[in-house]
């Protein structure tokens, strides 16, 4: 049915969100349909290489462009919070979510939803604000555990240290945390909900893809 729809006249493309979370059988179906229809393929994914996860996608099979999506800035976080909550957030709430999420769209949405569910937000005069001084709650625990999954004891300790000292230039940080640990954290494969963003690849277009899905990677192939 998918192949039939894609075979119809007109400009069409195959768009797959979080392709790195699909099982190999589903990826194989997408691969077969794309080969038959020769439609462009747009995927969002983590920074981990697609080829190591699914062998059906082989390098040099098609022209490909990868675009790395930058983290959301303050105004973008503000707009995404307004879309998620139904009303605009105040300055303090936007700032708190931006700092906690690192500008990752998925985390922005998750933090907002869990805060509302935990009654940590109040709606006054059509604007959302924090009812207390924190956005941490039990509903965020699964997200936090997913982010920390696979970290070594040294990496967890380093992350705790970095969270305490806050944003610093690389030079001073290397006096606090060993350089190889920093490198390990930086090179560690991203997970579906990290505080980093994704990339995007494309066969024939080279423009940015909006942050509608909270990814760090989006690929367009043909």
Per-domain boundaries in the chain: 2-70+197-221, 74-139, 152-187
Please check whether residue 218 is in contact with residue 44, taking contact to mean a CB–CB distance below 8 angstroms: yes
Residue 123 has pLDDT above 90, yes or no: yes
> Could you give the CA distance from residue 3 to residue 39 in angstroms, rounded to a whole number?
10
pLDDT in tens, 37-58: 888 888 887 655 555 544 555 5
Residue 158 has pLDDT above 80, yes or no: yes
> Could you give the CA distance from residue 196 to residue 217 in angstroms, rounded to a whole number?
10
Please check whether residue 77 is in contact with residue 100, taking contact to mean a CB–CB distance below 8 angstroms: no
The pTM score is 0.58
Q: What pLDDT is stored for residue 48 in this prediction?
A: 53
Q: Residue 139 carries which DSSP code?
A: G
Residue 204 has pLDDT above 60, yes or no: no
- H helices present in the chain, as ranges: 2-6, 24-37, 50-53, 74-85, 91-101, 105-117, 141-148, 153-165, 170-174, 179-187
Residue 134 has pLDDT above 70, yes or no: yes
Q: How confident is the model at residue 148 (pLDDT cuts 50, 70, 90)?
A: confident
Q: How confident is the model at residue 112 (pLDDT cuts 50, 70, 90)?
A: very high
Q: What is the mean pLDDT of residues 183-202?
A: 50
CA distances from 124 to 89, 121, 128, 129, 217 (A): 10, 10, 6, 8, 37
Q: What pLDDT is stored for residue 210 in this prediction?
A: 33
């Amino acid at each position: 049915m998918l192949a039939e729809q894609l075979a119809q006249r007109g400009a069409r493309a195959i768009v797959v969100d979080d392709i790195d979370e699909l099982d190999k059988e589903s990826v194989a179906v997408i691969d077969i349909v794309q080969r038959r229809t020769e439609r462009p393929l747009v995927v969002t994914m983590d920074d981990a290489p697609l080829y190591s996860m699914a062998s059906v996608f082989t390098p040099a099979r098609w022209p490909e462009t990868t675009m790395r999506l930058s983290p959301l800035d303050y105004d973008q976080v503000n707009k995404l919070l307004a879309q998620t909550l139904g009303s605009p957030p105040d300055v303090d709430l936007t700032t708190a979510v931006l700092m906690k999420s690192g500008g990752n769209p998925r985390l922005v949405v998750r933090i907002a939803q869990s805060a509302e569910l935990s009654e940590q937000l109040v709606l006054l005069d059509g604007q959302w604000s924090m009812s207390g001084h924190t956005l941490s709650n039990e509903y965020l625990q699964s997200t936090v555990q997913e982010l920390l999954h696979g970290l070594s004891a040294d990496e967890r300790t380093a992350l705790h240290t970095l969270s305490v000292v806050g944003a610093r230039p690389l030079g001073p940080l290397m006096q606090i945390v060993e350089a190889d640990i920093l490198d390990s954290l930086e090179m560690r494969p991203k997970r579906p909900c990290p505080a980093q963003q994704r990339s995007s690849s494309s066969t024939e277009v080279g423009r940015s893809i909006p942050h509608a899905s909270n990814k760090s990677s989006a690929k367009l192939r043909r």
